[in-house]
Amino acid sequence: MTTASNRLVLITGLSGSGKSSVANCFEDLGYYVVDNLPLSLLEALVHDPAAHLEGHDRIAIVTDVRAPGFADRFPPILEQIDRHAIDLTLLFLESSDESLVRRFSETRRPHPLAGDRSPIEGIRRERALLIEVRGSADMVLDSSEWSVHEMRSHIYRHFAGEPGEEASMAVSVSSFGFKYGIPYGTDLLFDVRFLPNPHFVPGLREQTGRDQAVTQYLDEQEDFQIITEKLQDLLLYLLPKYRKENRSYVSIAIGCTGGRHRSVALCERLGKELSAADWQVRVSHRDINKKQPAPPSTP
């Protein structure tokens, strides 16, 4: 039997007011998100929620004027929803005319109701059509002056599952070799080429930073111990700051010359320490399997 613990958020509002960004926020919070659901399917859902929720207890649905006849058909659908069966929130997003005109100008996308007219005409027409829908909303958010981060803060504050719950933040820790280029999209990058290189130690060249002989060699180096401790302290300080800004993902890259020994060992060590501190960590090694050239022979 479906109970009010099943949470349904209907996201609607003015075109260009940030519905897609809000949908992404709900997805980060663990909601099952559907964008531009046809009204016929929405009506079927509210008639028989148990048959359509399919095990999802938190769903966010974006529906707006892209659906034919939305302004006339949507309010009657709302009235059919049994709020004893579903914990429903109708979230309406709006923004000032000036902000919406600017956003349509920046993206160069046409307003869905403007046709061959100017965006402001489409905006005003949509605002008039949605007066009744806005009046039925449980929550109205004005995104005129909000950044994406501010939008996320508001959504998390109102829709996290439990008081104080924060969206999970994934942490990627990746090794790489500078000789193969710096990874794209890195948030935090560290260079450990100052450490003694096991590549030039007999018996270690063909091994990697995952092998005990290499880690034992590096553990004997004072600088390796120092950089491990300092990076651990730095990351344990920075990661909560990133999460406070509602980041869903932070990428950390650590590089040495070939990406096979020093950076690999350090990533493995940091990954274990961060996991022990309850961070969701993924450790990867981009260049660990690249063929390493032999060092030049001594004349």
What domains does the chain contain, in order, with CATH numbers? 7-159 (3.40.50.300), 170-285 (no CATH)
Q: What is the pLDDT of residues 225-265, one digit of tens each?
A: 999 999 999 999 999 998 877 677 788 999 999 999 999 99
State what percent of residues in the chain have pLDDT above 90. 45
C-alpha count within 13 angstroms, C-beta hemisphere, residue 3: 1
- Per the CB < 8 A criterion, the answer to whether 205 and 199 are in contact is yes
- Quote the mean pLDDT of the chain: 86
Is a pLDDT exceeding 80 seen at residue 36?
yes
What pLDDT, on a 0 to 100 scale, did the predictor assign at position 297? 53
Q: How far is Cα 167 from Cα 161, in angstroms, rounded to an integer?
A: 9
Give dist(CA 155, CA 238) in Å, integer: 23
* Phi then psi dihedrals of residue 145, to 5 deg: -110, 10
Residues 163-216: tens digit of each pLDDT? 445 556 789 899 999 999 988 778 899 999 999 999 999 999 999 999 999 999
Please indicate whether residue 170 or residue 299 has the higher confidence score (pLDDT). 170
Determine the Cα–Cα distance for residues 247 and 251; give it in Å rounded to an integer.
11
pTM of the predicted model, to two decimals?
0.58
Does the pLDDT value for residue 44 go beyond 90?
no
pLDDT score of 162: 52
Statement: residue 66 has pLDDT above 60: yes
Neighbours of 134 (CB within 10 A): 16
Residue pLDDT, tens place only, 112-164: 888 888 889 999 999 999 999 999 898 988 888 787 777 887 788 778 755 44
Which segment, 22-31, 195-204, 281-290, is predicted with the most confidence on average? 195-204
pLDDT score, position 1: 38
